[in-house]
Homo-oligomer: A and B are copies of this chain.
Amino acid sequence: MNAPARRASGGARQRLRLWLRLLRASRVIENDVRELLKAEFATTLPRFDVLAALDRHPEGLLMSELSRELEVSNGNVTGIVERLVADGLVLRTPLENDRRATRVHLSKRGRQAFTRMASAHQSWINQIMHGFSNAETLQLIGLLDKLKLKMAEARR
């Protein structure tokens, strides 16, 4: 094997190590968040993700837009929205120009519930990552932004 090929193969091994660490870190945190959401709010991560997406769009979203927004999340969006509507946290309003289509958005109660969850969520993450300094946090954010950019470029 020539030198460039050896280098490439070393790089591949390091990238695999990086991926396994990324995956593990995010699974560890995600499991904590899942358990805390269940214990403190009797809710699930996919429900929280849907509420968060709707909170980012106070004007409401078409179901297709919501699915796109949650593209990289798990769960059956339609079923989750139906249960959130039944629970009074999400409202459907018909579109003006197409009465058969609907836009979904948070109800007042949904917004209040999400605000409480989001605040708890932020403080859980702060506790979970407590001891990781602000400087390290910013450095890690910077590297993940660069990784995201490079991954987007590699897809083109």
Known contacts A21-B148, A27-B72, A29-B22: A140-B141 contact under CB 8 Å: no
Task: Collect the chain B residues with CB atoms within 8 Å of residue A112's CB.
Answer: none
Q: Count A interface residues, CB 8 Å.
A: 53
Q: How far is the CA of A40 from the CA of B17 in the complex (A)?
A: 22
Closest chain B residue to A155, Cβ basis: B128
Main secondary structure of the interface of A (DSSP, over half): helix
Chain A 112-156 interface mask (CB, 8 Å, partner B; 1/0)? 000000000111011111111010111111011111101101100
Interface residues of A (CB under 8 A from B): 7-8, 10-19, 21-31, 72-73, 121-123, 125-132, 134, 136-141, 143-148, 150-151, 153-154
